[in-house]
Chain A
Amino acid sequence: MVFAAGVVALAGVFWPQRGLLALVQRTRRVTERVRIEDAVKYLFHVGEDGSVVRPEALAGALVVRESAARALLARLVEAGLARTEGAGVRLTDSGRRDALRLVRTHRLVEQWLADRTGMAPGEWHAVAEDAEHELTREEVDRLAARLGQPRFDPHGDPIPTATGELPINDRVLLGALAPGEAGLIAHLEDEPADSYAALLAAGLTLGRTLVVRARDARAVDLEIDGTRVSLPRLLEAGVSVQRAPYTPTHHQMTLADLALGQSGTVLAIDLECRGAQRRRLLDLGVVPGTRIAAVLRSAAGDPVAYDIRHALIGLRRKQAAWILIDPDTTDTDSTDADTTNTKTAAELV
């Protein structure tokens, strides 16, 4: 028994690659590289607007002594990743490539965590920070393939491609916003003039935030500072937005708010619902326009069973709260959505 315990203990210390000793050795080797990579990333983010990085700024960002930051920058220059410019340094092309690879890894890992695991959003960053120094280029490419070559990370930031292309993403067309997504109006196309007038008449002005509520073949339903507007799809191309949070001025109802026997029409699934959970809801037929009724409450109160396309599906409160709905005002069998407070753009023009 004692012998067995001894063997286990020794194995724990000396086991190749997994043991304590190997861990200590690796940690020492890794911290050096991690520092350099963190510095490269910092230089990349700061350098995007053209400024150079001074040692004291780097020291602040990485929480190291200024002398250490100075030495780190010297090593970057020595390795050809950065060059001195005036009092600071700037990334070289080779350094920029390294930085893009790190950013790609970081964002892909975050996307994987958001899409394939149940990990909370607050935990993504730390895991990604660790993983970006660990994964090889092949592993990163495999991860990207497995995720279906995602274009954006869960925060909406673009993921650099394997060849190091980073699309400029601060502005997207309104058409790229899914129902439930919000943005800041950044650009309105002023040609042709009558389209521009229609946009203005609908209440779109630069700097206001909007949220897409629903979209069908002909029109997109927007909410702009609390007012619902229906915009013909033709006009969507004239609006560019920056992704930004929208603070609704009135309470948005969700499936969880329905009383038993009440029903409502789905507007959208909250973007916080991701990965397998989102696909499951979609596959069950929870898509914009689906009418859902709350049917049965379990003996403990949660979950509640809903009639979704004639199937009785139990959903937990948290899931139901992801599904934004427009409640039916009456309990009739009509499937027409309540459109009384929606103005059409045609009326506005």
Chain B
Amino acid sequence: MSPSTFRGQALAHDTELVQLSSRTERFDHLVALAGNPNTGKSTVFNALTGLRQHTGNWPGKTVTRAEGYFAAGGTRFKLVDLPGTYSLQAASDDEQVARDMLLFGRPDVTVVVLDATRLERNLNLALQVLAITPRVVVCLNLMDEARRHGIGVDPVALAQALGVPVIAASARSGEGIEAVREAVRAMAAGETITTPYRVPRFDDTTEATIATVEEAVLSAYPELPNSRWVALRLLNADDRVEAAVQNGELAALSAERLPAAQPTPVASAAMLEHGAVAVETGNDVLAVASAVRWQLATDFQDRITEGIYRSAEAIAASAQLAGVRRVRFDLDRTLDRWLTSRVTGFPIMVLLLGIVFWLTIAGANVPSAMLGTLLIEHGHAWISSLFVAAGAPDWLRGFLVDGVYLATAWVIAVMLPPMAIFFPLFTLLEDFGYLPRVAFNLDSMFRRVGAHGKQALTMCMGFGCNAAGVVATRVIDSPRERLVAIITNNFSLCNGRWPTQILLASVFVGALAPPALAGLVSASAVVGVTLVGVAAMFLASWLLTRTVLRGEATSFSLELPPYRPPRLWQTLYTSLVDRTLIVLWRAIVFAAPAGAVIWLISNVNIGDASIAEHLVGAFNPVGLLLGLNGVILLAYLVAIPANEIVIPTVLMLTVLTGAAPEAGAGAGVMFELDAAGVGTLLRDNGWSTLTAACLMLFSLLHNPCSTTIYTIYRETGSVRWTTLATLLPLVMGVVVCFLVAQIWRLLAGM
């Protein structure tokens, strides 16, 4: 690692997470929603607000922060969904965001969602929240699951132990949600008095140190409700809390500590007022903290977690219903035994994923053809005639209809049906809890190349759409492994590239075999290319983790959630809205301008030829070197926004620049022929089996489409990683195509 790399990594600015807020509404009180990953927090959020945020049987769904609104008793509440975290030590970006919101965002009420089946671990977070704010309502979620597993938790006893209201709930069925709303309302209205549980004493040395700092904190900010917690954070030299002490934010928190404070922005007038005083007292407090810090044991942090867990154990035990014993849930164990067994684990996985892919490809054919007829054949002619009837000039009709409309229609026809089938099926497996088991089974393969088992799933998701695959990497909670998964996702042959592969395989590869075997041979060719992609993914992951990503932090753990019966209709709805439509929308946004560019370069002439013809001529030498040609390279250049339109663009450009002009529908108009027609047209224009083979490889190994590039940038927030993810597959593709072409020609020449 060079010093400049080191500097870049170690001293980069903190991540600021994006706020997902579609609308701003008037509200009376601010409510925060906290909880462990995979506690049904998103389900609670949806149940409270009526929004449809995607929820999955996965730890770690919410990364950006979602907001919604609800009303109770005539009062309006704004609900902010915090990232699901195991802790609030601010060790990761997620924890930092959650912690800052609780401390500085000053919610009027914080709802902590607890998983009733994993009470101890969930209490670890709840106790940390209680140390920051006493205005907490606990939503004891997944009570239905607890009952199924024979776990008896007594909400009354829990409320007594924690000193805050506890509502038993099953958010999936809506049970208890109304009670949560009411409890939130009562607390916001100041009707509830809480006596929050405080983690009892740590060992004497630690306590003495904490007491010294807490005294200093309290003398500076007498009204601060969480002085002990602030003292602990200062002993930890938490830079965010230190900054708050220095710039007066903490003084403002102390001064404004009144019931049902109005939700004001952090930089309030009171804060400014106290600012001047705060600087002096603040520095005194910091001086005390840094002076006593040397007396702490080296494992201070470990001991604190240990202390919190001791309390969590005691509270969980006191809330245990007498006479109820946790039963081993035999169905789960039996399923696990089959699904993760050495003998049956892999065959079942191949079978299930095979069914998903078969349903997607086979099932998408019919609606794709129907959409094609509707949008491209009829729609295009109909809109064209409208323009003609309206007396629009020819260039305008060409630009808008032949360019913009046709490209967009093409993308929809090719992309929508497979996505609408693939994503719901995948989501069903996800909701059931099967996908984490796949990750569990495949982890050792991925471990060897330095990646995370969950990358198997983001890879599968990439077969549907790489942009969706990149978004799906959010379930990987270890920073290095997540980057690997993002950068290598493009090696999954996506939806937009399947048609290219299938067409070329059947026209060129299948034609080499006797007719009876043609189908089988061309199918094997497509599978072969897909497997080359998987191999490239492993190779690239291995290379990345040994070079540029070597120093990235890793924190592997893989939670296997209990199996949950999937909810069919909700899954259909959310996966349609959440994945299919959003991805489709982005594709349209990028495809429409591409259509315009294609039409323009084909119709604007420089000298005696169109721009496209000039470019094809210029690209031809390089293309031939790679076993391709100028038409293909130009098609890939203009089709960066959407891989779906590569084949129609290739056909259009071939007609434009080559022989047999009568086959086309006019310059700049994309079209498709049947397989035989495509074969004749391309062979007439100098295509060989080598061209097809190289194009199949290049279609697999080239830069991601612009939607994916944009998604990668949004997910990583880094130009560096986005550039790497863009160029790595392109370089691999160029090298592979070059080698294949040269060796092929060498062998053919012999």
A50 at the interface (CB under 8 A from B): no
A337 at the interface (CB under 8 A from B): no
Enumerate chain B residues within 8 angstroms of A179, measured Cβ to Cβ: 299
CA distance A179 to B306 in the complex (A): 12
Enumerate chain A residues within 8 angstroms of B302, measured Cβ to Cβ: 178, 269, 278, 282, 287
Enumerate chain B residues within 8 angstroms of A191, measured Cβ to Cβ: none
A87 to chain B, nearest CB (A): 36
B351 to chain A, nearest CB (A): 14
B721 at the interface (CB under 8 A from A): no
Supposing A275-B553, A296-B340, A316-B556 touch, asked if A148 and B447 sit within 8 A by C-beta, the answer is: no
Partner of B443, one of A131, A152, A281, A303: A303
B87 at the interface (CB under 8 A from A): yes
A314 B440 Cβ-Cβ under 8 A: yes
B560 A313 Cβ-Cβ under 8 A: yes
CA distance A119 to B201 in the complex (A): 36
A118 at the interface (CB under 8 A from B): yes
Partner of A300, one of B10, B441, B559: B441
Could you mark each residue 303-333 of chain A with 1 if its beta carbon is under 8 Å from any beta carbon of chain B, else 0? 1010011111111100100000000000000
Could you mark each residue 558-577 of chain B with 1 if its beta carbon is under 8 Å from any beta carbon of chain A, else 0? 11111000000000000000
Partner of A283, one of B86, B117, B480, B562: B86
CA distance A333 to B89 in the complex (A): 33
B605 at the interface (CB under 8 A from A): no
Residue of B nearest to A243 (CB): B298
Q: Name the interface size band of chain A.
A: 35 or more
B560 A314 Cβ-Cβ under 8 A: yes
CA distance A217 to B87 in the complex (A): 24
A298 at the interface (CB under 8 A from B): yes
CA distance A36 to B515 in the complex (A): 78
B-facing residues in A252-284 (Cβ within 8 Å): 269, 275-284
Partner of B558, one of A275, A290, A301, A303: A303
The stretch of B75-83, B210-218, B235-243, B263-271 in contact with A is B235-243
Partner of A175, one of B1, B205, B443: B205
B-facing residues in A112-154 (Cβ within 8 Å): 112-113, 116-119, 123, 127, 130-131, 133-135, 139, 142-143, 145-146, 148-149, 151-152
Enumerate chain B residues within 8 angstroms of A215, measured Cβ to Cβ: 203
Residue of B nearest to A169 (CB): B294
A300 B445 Cβ-Cβ under 8 A: yes
A-facing residues in B216-249 (Cβ within 8 Å): 236-239, 242
Enumerate chain B residues within 8 angstroms of A112, measured Cβ to Cβ: 10
A283 B124 Cβ-Cβ under 8 A: yes
Partner of B87, one of A279, A309, A313: A279
A181 B298 Cβ-Cβ under 8 A: yes
Enumerate chain B residues within 8 angstroms of A175, measured Cβ to Cβ: 205, 297
Could you mark each residue 281-298 of chain A with 1 if its beta carbon is under 8 Å from any beta carbon of chain B, else 0? 111110111100000111
A285 B309 Cβ-Cβ under 8 A: yes
A307 to chain B, nearest CB (A): 10
A305 B238 Cβ-Cβ under 8 A: no
A151 B293 Cβ-Cβ under 8 A: yes
B2 at the interface (CB under 8 A from A): yes
Residue of A nearest to B89 (CB): A279
A-facing residues in B107-136 (Cβ within 8 Å): 117-121, 124
Partner of A277, one of B120, B554, B560: B554
B440 A148 Cβ-Cβ under 8 A: no
Enumerate chain B residues within 8 angstroms of A152, measured Cβ to Cβ: 298
Could you mark each residue 451-469 of chain B with 1 if its beta carbon is under 8 Å from any beta carbon of chain A, else 0? 0010000000000000000
CA distance A118 to B124 in the complex (A): 27
Could you mark each residue 86-101 of chain B with 1 if its beta carbon is under 8 Å from any beta carbon of chain A, else 0? 1101011000000000
B622 at the interface (CB under 8 A from A): yes
B516 at the interface (CB under 8 A from A): no
Supposing A145-B237, A276-B553 touch, asked if A303 and B299 sit within 8 A by C-beta, the answer is: no
A329 to chain B, nearest CB (A): 21
Residue of B nearest to A281 (CB): B557
Could you mark each residue 92-127 of chain A with 1 if its beta carbon is under 8 Å from any beta carbon of chain B, else 0? 000000000000000001001100111100010001
Residue pairs across A and B with Cβ atoms less than 8 A apart, 13 shown, are A116-B553, A118-B480, A130-B2, A130-B6, A176-B298, A284-B557, A285-B124, A289-B310, A302-B447, A312-B559, A314-B443, A316-B443, A319-B556
Partner-A contacts on B (CB < 8 A): 1-4, 6-7, 9-11, 86-87, 89, 91-92, 117-121, 124, 203-205, 236-239, 242, 290, 293-294, 296-299, 301-302, 305-306, 309-310, 326, 336-337, 340-342, 345-346, 440-445, 447, 453, 478-480, 550-562, 618, 622
A-B pairs, top 7 by smallest CB distance, nearest first, are A178-B299, A299-B345, A314-B558, A149-B237, A276-B555, A283-B86, A134-B3
5 more A-B contacts (CB under 8 A) besides A109-B10, A282-B306?
A135-B3, A142-B11, A151-B294, A279-B87, A299-B342
